[in-house]
Structure 1
């Protein structure tokens, strides 16, 4: 065996490591998008999501969501116990219902969080989280060009650091991808620099399982925890 052949054999186990180190942030993001949305469906997504939210010492919240991105339509009907709230945004126009009724007591509605401001918040929340990692290509999103290798809960990941233009958002995010498949398995946000004053702020979300939705691989469960103290907050389950 020649020295050249021996060197080639020795290098084979490290090829994946070298390639990962050479990935830029944009390349890692593109690889992750190709895993989760191989046919580029997100930008024209029209579909329904049913999500069960489990939280400690509380009844489950069942949400049925209709998202139509091309037509700018968002609908959410949420049921928790005997209370049903309905939010609808169509091209910016807001419609609300409380227990199926268009006319309702305003104080009762405010107590239930039934407001147009909350409708906008829910739209942004669900389209962002369930549109990841594709949403990281939106305007105002700043992807760090340096990809880091970090260990989280005993597993090593390729990590993408993201912040936003001031008018978009102030949180600092980390996204953790499997180094082989590029599947997104964890994300985490901080209220400031995670290496500084923001270290013990914010939350992390553990993703598990995959549901196929309109050709996209969307995480089935999202379990939420505080960064500080690892306190469990709840789990969203996509059905």
Structure 2
């Protein structure tokens, strides 16, 4: 009887000890490492806006711009834009427009235009982007540090587009964006347009704009503000949107690819 009692106690103690298999299954948390193609300067600006690590975990972004509602799957960049007149979607292969009676000639160019402006600076961290520090410059009486972004061949519909982020040297936050448009011409150019970012909100730990402003910019001189676009009802989530949102309906038309059409 004594032997049985002793054996039971030994078995009970052994059961309470962590086994080798359990210890082997425990994994240490791996520290985040920025993608190899990110420059040191880009990492600093991304960190100032909440960090690329956190951005990479997000799967859904939605907002309204006037009467236009946009939702994007951040992992595969499928997108859906709804207005009272039409719906534009990208299913991962084709840009589609419904109803099939509306003019779809600009839909391919437009479908992710504001998403890219809105999701700056995170979107320039995408694979295929090249980052280069440029000389500081003055804009509206303040000197900013700059990062130029260009793209490799066959990256998106307009790989010759380029961007320059202008950063507050004290905070590394982005305050201005210069960009070129090459979609229709298909040819690179050095005529930049200019956007100011100075209205922000924090959503799930990431700093996103509530408004962006286009400024006149000719002969390398900043003029007056010419347009402002506001964003509302901003939602950012680690949960992906339903893939059914991006499926092309039966009554939709495929938007033409107008690169090089002038």
User: For this structure pair, what is the TM-score category when the shorter chain's length is used for normalisation?
Assistant: 0.5 to 0.7
State the structure with bigger RCO (CA 8 A, min sep 6), 1 or 2.
Answer: 2
- Provide the secondary structure at the position in 2 that maps to 1:87: strand
Residues 8-58 of structure 1, C-alpha deviations (whole Å, 9 max, x = no match): xxxxxxxxxxxxxxxxx8112101111213373333331311123xxxxxx
- In proportion to residue count, which structure has more helix? 1
Q: Find the counterpart in structure 1 of residue 98 from structure 2.
A: 97
Distance 1:214 1:45, change over 3 A: farther
2:70 counterpart residue number? 65
SS in structure 2 opposite 1:157? strand
TM-score by length of 2: 0.60
**Rg comparison, structure with higher value:** 2
**C-alpha contact 1:47 1:214 (8 A) present in aligned 2:** no
Structure 1 residue 171, shift from structure 2 partner? 3.1
3-state SS of paired residue (1:170): coil
Match of 1:143 among 111, 122, 131: 131
Q: Distance in 1 between matches of 2:207 and 2:198?
A: 11
> 2:82 maps to which residue?
77
After superposition, what is the alpha-carbon deviation per residue over 1:99-133, rounded to whole angstroms, capped at 9, x for unaligned?
xxxxx53xxx11xxx36x61x43343233222221
Asked if 2 retains the 8 angstrom alpha-carbon contact of 1:211 and 1:238, the reply is no
In structure 2, list runs of 5 or more residues that go unmatched: 1-37, 183-187, 233-262
Secondary structure of the 1:41 match is: helix
Q: Offset of 1:188 from its aligned partner?
A: 0.7
How many residues of Structure 1 are paired with residues of Structure 2 in the alignment? 183
2:119 is matched with which residue: 103, 108, 131?
A: 131
1:157 and 1:66, CA in 2 relative to 1: closer, same or farther beyond 3 A? same
Distance 1:26 1:184 in 2: 15
Work out whether residues 89 and 111 of structure 2, in 8 Å CA contact, stay in contact via their aligned partners in 1.
no
Partner of 2:230: 237
Consecutive unaligned residues in structure 1, runs of 5 or more: 1-24, 53-61, 99-103
2:195 corresponds to: 205
Which aligned pairs between 1:1-239 and structure 2 lie closer than 5 A?
Answer: 26-38=39-51, 40-43=53-56, 44-52=58-66, 62-70=67-75, 72-79=77-84, 84-92=85-93, 94-98=95-99, 104-105=100-101, 109-110=102-103, 114=104, 118=107, 120-144=108-132, 146-168=133-155, 169-190=159-180, 201-228=191-218, 230=223, 232-239=225-232
2: distance between equivalents of 1:39 and 1:140?
16
